Amino acid sequence: MTEAPETLKTTPLHGLHLELKGKMVPFAGYDMPVQYPLGILKEHLHTRDKAGLFDVSHMGQVRLTGDDPAAALESLVPGDIKGLARGRMRYTLFLNEQGGILDDLMVTNAGDHLFLVVNAACKEQDVAHLRDRLKGKAEVELLDDLALMALQGPAAAGVLARFIPEAATMKFMSYLPATFNGIPVVITRSGYTGEDGYEISCDKADAEPIARALLAESEVEAIGLGARDSLRLEAGLCLYGHDIDETTTPVEAALEWALSKRRREEGGFPGYGIIKDQLANGAPRRRVGIQPEGRQPAREHTEICDMNGQKIGEVTSGGFGPTANVPVAMGYVDRAHAGLDTPVQLMVRGKPLAAKVAAMPFVPQRYYRG
């Protein structure tokens, strides 16, 4: 007898995805829409041109409380959490003792608590990690009763301001409790597409009315995981489990900007000795952008070779960039080959494909700076 397939979890918008004829696929234990009838290419371009609505309710939303939750969290991440002003948010990383990345996450100072958003595939282990390491220092609550949506694109601010006028003047990486058609929500001016936009957290029961109201606006289309992936790849943003994982350090991953100056000097987070050495002396390998010649994309796990055919790394994310209108990829190469415009070869279906190390993002990021 064969075992029954694992039962997939669903988000509060599952019925709406089916109604919109979303093509559903398993993702991080959830039944999620990879695309809608519009198709990945048009969904991607629509988000860059107008506004796309993404269901990201599979992500983990966590509340951290206690006497000093910021100090407690700093024992696990290299970001400056104590210096985070109320209503502001920061990207940071859970690290292991080797400096490897356990997950990447967003942390918001919500005043009386810290609000964390972690990756769907990591949320159970992240919560266990927090509870184990912060026992007696902070209370950790997984907010399973909440949904999360992302409204992304140049028209996002104009659309959301019709429902929440103060959304229009929010700064990038800021947080605001508000009401949407009388429904309590928390919005952040953030996202993972390289575009201006927002994430909207609300009670599960309120997700569908909010989603329907936004989709009724002429600029907004429902967007699936396929376009979410191509959008973040063009923007040079990492996908956990692919571009970063427990074997990659922030320095190798070109995420030094997430290591706050005070924390670089003081330490006090896992893997500090290794990371401090890599900051001073360089890491043995580096995450870089890769630009293949021609139109053939290089996918994940494609070998990267030097011009003599010796393997120097591997592609971790790759595909066709609809906005860039060329194939785009990122991956790790040894330090000697990480310089911009370094010629490399990609082994695609057993044949070498000419490429070069390229700057990221491949498409300019358009976050709202005020």
| CATH number of the domain bearing residue 353 | 2.40.30.110
CATH of the domain at 28: 3.30.1360.120
Q: Convert 205-219 to b/e letters by CB count within 10 Å (16 or more is b).
A: ebbbebbebbeebeb
Q: Convert 15-54 to b/e letters by CB count within 10 Å (16 or more is b).
A: ebbeebebbbeebbebbbbbbbebebebbbbbbbebbbbb
- Judge whether 289 lies within some domain: yes
52 shares its domain with 185: yes
215 shares its domain with 313: no
Give the other-Cβ count within 10 Å of 100's Cβ. 21
Q: Is 87 exposed, middle or buried (0-12, 13-18, 19+ CB in 10 A)?
A: middle
In this predicted structure, the answer to whether residue 3 has a pLDDT above a threshold of 90 is no
- Judge whether 68 lies within some domain: no
216 shares its domain with 326: no
164 shares its domain with 302: no
- Judge whether 273 lies within some domain: no
- Judge whether 348 lies within some domain: yes
149 shares its domain with 52: yes
In 3D space, the residue among 305, 312, 317 whose CA is nearest the CA of residue 355 turns out to be 305
Between helices 40-49 and 225-234, what is the axis angle to 10°?
Answer: 60
Query: What mean pLDDT value characterizes the chain?
Result: 97
pLDDT of residue 2: 40
Band (370; pLDDT cuts 50, 70, 90): confident
- Cα–Cα distance measured from residue 320 to residue 152, given in angstroms and rounded to the nearest whole number: 20
Boundaries of domain holding 226: 14-56+145-234
Q: 177, 186 in Cβ contact below 8 A? A: yes
pLDDT over 70 percentage in the chain: 98
309 shares its domain with 165: no
- 219 token code pair: 């600029």
Phi, psi for 63 (deg, rounded to 5):
-110, 130
Q: 318, 290 in Cβ contact below 8 A? A: yes
- Judge whether 157 lies within some domain: yes
150 shares its domain with 230: yes
In 3D space, the residue among 293, 317, 190, 304 whose CA is nearest the CA of residue 243 turns out to be 317
Task: Give me the number of domains the chain comprises.
Answer: 2
Spatial CB neighbours of 351, under 8 Å, sequence gap ≥ 6: none
**Which amino acid is it at 213?**
A
- Judge whether 77 lies within some domain: no
Average pLDDT rounded to a whole number, residues 92-111: 98
Residue at a domain's end among 234, 267, 292: 234
pLDDT of residue 199: 98
In this predicted structure, the answer to whether residue 4 has a pLDDT above a threshold of 90 is no
In this predicted structure, the answer to whether residue 322 has a pLDDT above a threshold of 60 is yes
Band (259; pLDDT cuts 50, 70, 90): very high
163 shares its domain with 302: no
- Judge whether 90 lies within some domain: no
In the chain, the DSSP E strands lie at 23-27, 30-35, 51-55, 60-65, 89-95, 101-109, 114-118, 139-142, 146-152, 175-180, 183-188, 197-203, 220-222, 285-292, 303-305, 311-321, 326-334, 343-348, 351-358
pLDDT of residue 6: 66
